[in-house]
């Protein structure tokens, strides 16, 4: 042990900035003794994402560090202990717990507290603020019995709090704002109006220009009284009227503070006492409090550098922000308000879609000064970079917000044009130069790699699209051919691997890895290889269980809590009463939750792993088969009732749907496949939203392909019209086999078509005109797969070795996982929240 | 050092080699603990970790997929829920989060699988 003196750095406040300071200091030097005091009862957490606490994130999920971080890095942490005074001459601080701690450097990172205006009644029950996890716990508990809630303050935090009330199930949520518009610090009146009308559509009720004069109620809040004599009945109130820097400790110690609060600091973040620093929301630099994390992190960097005897100064910080408020994009950057005569504005407003965009251009038309985006903020990153780096504008600056019309959209072409100093990740202060050199010199090629290399993208995540573009463009600029390889173990695309495995007659994963891969494989390459093998040979997939993806492994979808769902096939959605009864009996016997799915069949949730073979044994005995709800394979072929009952039905759509579903059941493919058959153009089976859709016509059937529901819905396109059933099946065989052979892993038919050169006319040429001369082959391959079908659950049920794999404990196969727990809702079980 | 570790560890027989699928995992129960045992047959190695995934506190790591990563072919397991990956050697989370899982030494004698507990 060396006897060297280790200077002590004491940090007051374990919030976002205080923590980040410790992290930065430790990364720079190990020669300090670091002691932290935090008033809150838990380790620093991500306050920016505080509201996610209501969406199921736990305090631990929000935590900024692993629980052993402080210990591992030799930092002493006192939680739940408030510093009460500073003795600047003795250089000590005194904590509530009685500890007196001496310091060489003292860093105040005490943050801010919510400002609560002096309105009579603010002390009443049901009045809250929104700053800490404890605040949220109180709000959550109270909201259960509240029907009407209001938020005082229509700024950024207020609107976020309002969203939280909606999420908590408060039926009526109001926002009360004193100013004539929302988010007065970030957006202009026109933007505010657009935002307001979008938020109103989502169920928020706005009250602008309202001064609250009284909070009425016995002991708890019952109504708000406004200065204009009107009032509003509410059961709870969240106050979000701004923040007040916590400078009480500094004031007491005689440090200089601002007249409206804040600890005065210079560009080194030094207070009026040179060994005391202030950073984050408590610091007042050049007359300004910075209420965002990015500037706070920069302040932390300045102090850490300074203590380690380096050079760095704080020079103010860009206050641009982008956020999603209740699903509405809102962004403001540079100087959002500068107007004539100092600049010229270009404004775009689309009331129909709820989009408002404003960019402020310098009078000479050369530079972008700032702007506002509401409803669509995709261009935020690039516009912010354009402002910050003084990039000379193109001749038609309106393209910035309208997109280049008549040509390719040009926004992303801009990333490589940015100068190396351009700040890409402002949370972690990573520049474009650093990102590109990580690609060039350290061989980083993925977002994950970049996060590890320089932390870019680990903060708010807003820069990730830009980082991705930079990685791809740098690789391209290097002449690196960016191939769509599966993962680090296989240097091939799915399509190449498919051909290789086929030509070489490869039957197992190990063989494939030995011949064409390296290393031991991983979760990225095993499932696609498993899927290719299944598409090629259609062997029972459980025989190669360890390479199957989570759900294929146990032939069931894994659900929250570790139980599984059971979905028997119900072709075309048609089922007999007897079979319905069996499903009811099985569900009852094994205590399962039942629901009719969006795919016209019945899902039973909550099955223990060890019960799955028994459940399926009973279902199979009653004539059911696997529904492959877990597989990248055919799911359902949805039908409408068609001509057997429906007065408009042209042909028997149910029979055709069943025939098609029976034909392709169990077919493994790059992604899941869904079909639909409708009995007339009214399209009750939604066939045009499926990977393949068949619609009856007067003369036969129309065949549509490559439709998709899901997050990016896309209508299917017509492949052939007025064809008979046999032709329809023939085209489908070709189409599906062509897709299986050529699509990338996890690519639905719609995306596959979108990427296909030549698009639909090319596909038609292949499938109908046999332009590649492969159709006989495609049909023969499909026929072979269809011939080889067998129900994989049946194989498991009949095979004791395979059944054994479904035990939770191999050394206690009869015992179920004791950690599985359920809640109840409407007389059925549901998974416990995680 | 070697000796010290050897004496501090108690070897517990938990299952037979063919209870754990080749290149896969299985969960064993030891008192109230759930331990995931992996048979990395491709490398002729065995590993054991806690069965609980720290991400959402799910008892599922034994049902995860194993593989390797990087130049050094570090062995790892991917949680079936959100595919967070963990080193089978150190228990460190390899997907960039600050999670850490427990790992245990494994010894195979004949067709018996033992786990070393402290
Ligand atoms: C059960 C069901 C919801 C329901 O209660 O109705 C459901 C449940 C799930 N869907 Fe779905 N989807 C269900 C109908 C649909 C539909 C409607 C339909 O099929 O007509 C769609 C839109 C149509 C489409 O796919 O184009 C649909 C679009 C998705 C998507 C988005 C796919 C896309 O291409 O964008 C996913 C995610 C994915 O597959 O990657 C998904 C994924 C899932 C998963 C597998 C998520 C998961 O990994 O756990 C859910 C599994 C629950 C389970 O264990 O069964 N589900 N899902 C429906 C089962 C239908 C069935 O009988 O098999
Ligand atoms: C709901 C919400 C959403 C937000 N969203 C965003 C966003 O989208 N983007 C963004 O950039 N910013 C956002 N912010 C602001 C951001 O959270 C703050 O800028 C950031 O937390 C400031 O960090 P800090 O360390 O200075 O203060 P804090 O995180 O408040 O930490 C200060 C800590 O010091 C403690 N403390 C105070 N006095 C003492 C004492 N005497 N002794 C011991 N401990 C003491 C406090 O208890 C506190 O734990 C949001 C804030 C909230 C509340
Ligand atoms: S699609 Fe046509 S046949 Fe089918 S239910 Fe609707 S109207 Fe009837
Ligand atoms: S529960 Fe394991 S990764 Fe999410």
Predicted confidence at residue A214, as pLDDT, reads 94
Give me the pLDDT at residue A458, please.
76
Whole-angstrom distance, CA of residue A161 vs CA of residue A242:
13
Q: Which ligand sits nearest to residue A640's alpha carbon?
A: 3
Residue of A547, A809, A818 to mutate for B, most B C-beta atoms under 10 A: A809
Residues of B in contact with A815 (CB under 8 A): 29
d(CA A338, CA A330): 18
Q: Measure the CA–CA gap between A433 and A431, rounded to whole angstroms.
A: 5
Q: Does the Cβ of A597 fall within 6 Å of ligand 1? A: yes
Average pLDDT over residues A403-431: 65
Measured between beta carbons, the chain A residues lying within 8 angstroms of B69 are 488, 519, 522
CB atoms within 10 A of CB A339: 12
Phi/psi-derived region of residue A262, left when phi > 0, alpha when psi is between -120 and 50, beta in every other case: left
Q: What share of chain A is helix, strand, coil (3-state, %, to 5)?
A: 35, 20, 45
CB contact under 8 A, A66 and B28: no
Task: With beta carbons less than 8 A apart as the criterion, state whether A737 and A781 touch.
Answer: yes
Task: Residue B66: list chain A partners with CB under 8 A.
Answer: 520, 546
Q: Is A153 exposed, middle or buried (0-12, 13-18, 19+ CB in 10 A)?
A: buried
Residue from A467, A513, A520, A564 whose CB has the most chain B CBs within 10 Å, to mutate? A520
Inform me whether the pLDDT recorded for A237 exceeds 70: yes
Total domains, chain B: 1
Q: Is the pLDDT reported for residue B8 higher than 70?
A: no
Does some domain include residue B76?
Answer: yes
Question: Which carries the bigger pLDDT value, residue B46 or residue A58?
Answer: B46
Determine contact: B17 vs chain A, CB below 8 A. Answer: no
**Section B35-50 average pLDDT:** 96
The reply to whether B45 touches chain A by the CB within 8 Å rule is: no
Does CATH number 1.10.1060 belong to domain A430-482? no
Q: Which atom of ligand 2 is nearest to the CA of A294?
A: 11
pLDDT single digits (tens) A611-630: 999 999 999 999 999 999 99
Instruction: Confirm if A335 and A298 have CB atoms less than 8 A apart.
Output: no
Asked if residue B9 is part of any domain, the answer here is no
Side-chain half-sphere of A656: how many Cα atoms within 13 Å? 31
Q: Where do we find the tokens 């949370």?
A: A427
- Domain ranges within chain A, ordered by starting residue: 8-113+245-307, 127-241, 430-482, 564-787
Minimum mean pLDDT among A252-266, A418-432, A503-517, A757-771: which range?
A: A418-432
How close A525 gets to chain B, by Cα (Å)? 10
Cβ contact B100–A68 (<8 Å): yes
**What are the Cα distances from residue A656, in Å, to A245, A299, A755?**
70, 68, 31
Which member of B19, B75, B83 has the closest CB to residue A523? B83
Asked, for residue B106, whether it belongs to a domain, the answer is yes
Domain A564-787, architecture per CATH: 2-Layer Sandwich (3.30)
In degrees, to the nearest 5, what angle opens at C-alpha A717 toward C-alphas A713 and A722?
140
Contact A235, A145 (CB under 8 A): yes
**Stated pTM of the model:** 0.55
Residue A59's nearest CA partner among A70, A69, A72, A49 is: A49
Query: Apex CA A578: angle with CA A577 and CA A579, to 5°?
Result: 90
**Half-sphere exposure in the Cβ direction for A131 (13 Å, CA):** 19
Same CATH topology for A127-241 and A430-482: the answer is no
Residue range of the domain that includes B96: 16-117
- For chain A, report the end-to-end CA distance as a whole number of angstroms: 46
* Domain A127-241 annotated CATH 1.10.3720.10: no
- Fold entry, domain A8-113+245-307: FAD/NAD(P)-binding domain (3.50.50)
**Per-residue model confidence as pLDDT tens digits over A44-87:** 999 988 988 887 788 888 999 988 999 999 999 999 999 999 99
The region that residue A39 occupies, defined by phi over 0 for left and psi between -120 and 50 for alpha, beta otherwise, is: alpha
pLDDT at position A223 = 95
Residues 561-620, chain A, touching B (beta carbon < 8 A): 561-562, 609
Phi, psi angle pair for A40, to nearest 5°: -75, 155
Checking if the pLDDT of A416 tops 80, the result is no
CATH number at residue B76: 2.102.10.10
Q: What distance in Å separates the CA atoms of residue A416 and residue A424, rounded to the nearest whole number? A: 12
Query: Which of A519, A523, A809 lies nearest to residue B29, judging by beta carbons?
Result: A809
| Distance in angstroms (rounded) separating the CA atoms of residues A131 and A675 | 49
- What is the distance in angstroms between the Cα of A606 and the nearest Cα belonging to chain B? 14
- Distance CA(A561)–CA(A834), nearest Å, equals 7
Is B1 inside a domain boundary?
no
Residue B50 main-chain phi, psi, to 5 deg: -60, 150
Has residue B85 been placed in a domain?
yes
In DSSP notation, B61-113 reads GGGSEEEEETTTTEEEEE-TTT--EEETTT-BBSSSS--B--EE-EEEETTEE
Among A415, A423, A418, A431, smallest CA distance to A468 is for: A415
Whole-number pLDDT of residue A667 = 94
What is the C-alpha separation between A29 and A749, in angstroms, rounded? 54
Q: Model confidence over A772-785: pLDDT tens digits?
A: 889 999 999 999 99
How is residue A407 written in tokens?
Answer: 């040509």
What's the pLDDT at A482?
63
pLDDT at position B7 over 60: no
**Distance (Å, rounded) from C-alpha A203 to C-alpha A366?**
42
| CB-based contact A834:B58 (threshold 8 Å) | yes
Q: What is the spatial distance between Cα A726 and Cα A517, in angstroms, rounded to a whole number? A: 42
Smallest Cα distance from B32 to chain A, Å: 9
- In this structure, what token pair is assigned to residue A400? 């910035």
Say if residue A544's pLDDT is above 50.
yes
Residue A436 neighbours by CB distance under 10 Å: 22
Smallest CA–CA separation between B104 and chain A, in Å? 17
Report whether residue A674 contacts ligand 1, using a CB cutoff of 6 Å.
yes
For residue A277 the two structure tokens come to 């620093």
**Could you give the CA distance from residue B67 to residue A517 in angstroms, rounded to a whole number?**
13
Mutate to test the pocket of ligand 4, among B49, B57, B58, B64 (most ligand atoms within 8 A of CB): B58
Quote the CA–CA distance of A451 and A439 in Å, as a whole number. 12
């Amino acid at each position: 042990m060396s006897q060297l003196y280790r200077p002590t750095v004491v940090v007051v406040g374990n919030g976002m900035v205080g923590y980040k300071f410790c992290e930065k200091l430790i990364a720079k030097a190990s020669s300090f003794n670091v002691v932290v005091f935090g008033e809150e009862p838990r380790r620093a957490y991500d306050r920016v994402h505080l509201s996610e606490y209501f969406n199921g994130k736990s305090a631990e999920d929000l935590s900024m560090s692993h629980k052993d971080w402080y210990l591992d890095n030799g930092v002493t942490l006192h939680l739940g202990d408030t510093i009460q005074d500073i003795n600047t001459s003795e250089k000590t601080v005194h904590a509530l717990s009685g500890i007196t701690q001496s310091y060489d450097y003292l860093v105040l990172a005490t943050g801010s507290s919510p400002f609560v205006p002096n309105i009579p009644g603010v002390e009443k029950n049901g009045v809250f603020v929104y700053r800490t996890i404890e605040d949220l716990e109180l709000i959550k508990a109270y909201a259960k019995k509240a029907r009407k809630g209001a938020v005082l303050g229509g700024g950024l935090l207020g609107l976020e709090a309002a969203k939280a009330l909606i999420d908590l199930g408060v039926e009526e949520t109001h926002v009360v704002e004193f100013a004539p518009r929302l988010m007065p610090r970030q957006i202009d009146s026109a933007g505010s109006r657009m935002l307001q009308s979008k938020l109103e559509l989502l169920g928020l009720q706005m009250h602008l220009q309202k001064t609250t004069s009284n909070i009425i109620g016995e002991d708890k809040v019952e109504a708000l009284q406004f200065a204009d004599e009107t009032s509003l009945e509410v059961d709870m109130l969240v106050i979000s009227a701004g923040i007040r820097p916590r400078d009480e400790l500094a004031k007491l110690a005689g440090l200089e503070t601002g007249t409206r609060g804040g600890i005065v600091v210079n560009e080194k973040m030094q207070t009026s006492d040179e060994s005391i620093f202030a950073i984050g929301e408590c610091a007042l630099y050049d007359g300004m409090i910075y209420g965002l994390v990015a500037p706070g992190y920069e302040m932390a960097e300045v102090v850490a550098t300074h203590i380690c005897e380096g050079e760095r100064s704080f020079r103010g910080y860009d206050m641009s922000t982008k956020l999603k408020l209740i699903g509405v994009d809102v962004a403001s950057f540079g100087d959002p308000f500068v107007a004539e005569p100092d600049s010229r504005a270009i404004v775009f407003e689309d009331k129909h879609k709820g989009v408002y965009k404003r960019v402020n251009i310098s009078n000479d038309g050369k530079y972008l000064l700032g702007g506002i985006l509401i409803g669509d903020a995709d261009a935020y990153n690039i516009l912010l970079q354009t402002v910050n780096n003084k990039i000379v504008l193109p001749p038609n600056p309106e393209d910035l917000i309208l997109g280049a019309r008549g040509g390719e959209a040009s926004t992303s072409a801009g990333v490589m044009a940015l100068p190396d100093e351009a700040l890409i990740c402002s949370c972690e202060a990573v520049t474009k130069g650093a990102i590109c050199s990580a690609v060039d010199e350290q061989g980083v090629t993925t977002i994950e790699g970049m996060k590890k290399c320089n932390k870019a993208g680990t903060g708010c995540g807003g820069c990730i699209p830009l980082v991705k573009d930079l990685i791809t463009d740098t690789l391209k600029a290097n002449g690196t051919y960016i191939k769509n390889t599966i993962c680090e173990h296989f240097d091939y695309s799915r399509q190449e691997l498919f051909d290789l495995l086929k030509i070489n007659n490869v039957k197992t994963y190990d063989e494939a890895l030995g011949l064409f891969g390296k290393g031991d494989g991983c979760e990225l390459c095993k499932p696609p290889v498993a899927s290719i093998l299944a598409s090629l040979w259609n062997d029972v997939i459980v025989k190669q269980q360890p390479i199957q993806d989570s759900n294929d492994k146990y032939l069931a979808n894994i659900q929250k809590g570790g139980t599984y769902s059971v979905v028997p096939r119900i072709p075309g959605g048609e089922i007999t009463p007897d079979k319905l009864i069996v499903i009811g009996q099985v569900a009852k016997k094994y205590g399962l939750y039942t629901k009719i799915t969006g795919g016209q069949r019945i899902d039973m949730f909550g099955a223990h792993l060890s019960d799955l073979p028994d459940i399926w044994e009973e279902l199979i005995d009653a004539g059911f088969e696997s529904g492959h709800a877990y597989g990248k394979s055919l799911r359902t072929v949805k039908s409408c009732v068609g001509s057997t009952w429906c007065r408009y039905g042209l042909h028997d759509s149910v029979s055709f749907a069943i025939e098609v579903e029976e034909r392709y059941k169990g077919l493994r493919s790059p992604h899941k496949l869904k079909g639909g058959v409708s009995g007339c153009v009214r399209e009750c089976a939604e066939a045009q939203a499926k990977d393949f859709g068949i619609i009856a016509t007067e003369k036969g059937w129309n065949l549509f392909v490559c439709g998709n529901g899901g997050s990016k819905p896309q209508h299917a396109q017509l492949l052939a019209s007025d064809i008979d059933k046999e032709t329809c099946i023939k085209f489908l065989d070709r189409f599906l086999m062509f897709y299986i052979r050529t699509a990338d892993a996890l690519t639905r038919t719609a995306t596959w078509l979108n990427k296909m050169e030549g698009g639909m006319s090319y596909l038609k040429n292949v499938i109908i005109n046999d332009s590649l001369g492969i159709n006989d082959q495609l049909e023969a391959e499909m026929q072979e797969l269809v011939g080889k079908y067998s129900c994989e659950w049946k194989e498991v049920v009949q095979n004791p070795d395979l059944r054994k794999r479904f035990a939770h404990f191999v050394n206690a196969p009869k015992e179920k996982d004791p950690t599985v727990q359920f809640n109840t809702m409407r007389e059925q079980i549901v998974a416990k929240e995680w | 050092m070697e000796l010290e570790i050897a004496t501090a560890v108690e070897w517990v027989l938990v299952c037979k080699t063919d209870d754990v699928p080749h290149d896969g995992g299985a969960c064993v129960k030891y008192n109230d603990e759930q331990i995931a045992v992996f048979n990395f047959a491709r490398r002729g190695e065995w590993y054991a970790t806690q069965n609980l995934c720290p991400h959402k506190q799910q008892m599922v790591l034994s049902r995860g997929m194993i593989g390797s990563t990087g130049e050094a072919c570090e062995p790892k397991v991917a949680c079936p829920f959100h595919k967070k990956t963990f080193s089978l050697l150190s228990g460190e989370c390899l997907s960039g989060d600050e999670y850490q899982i427990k790992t245990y030494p494994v010894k195979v004698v004949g067709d018996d699988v033992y786990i070393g507990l402290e």
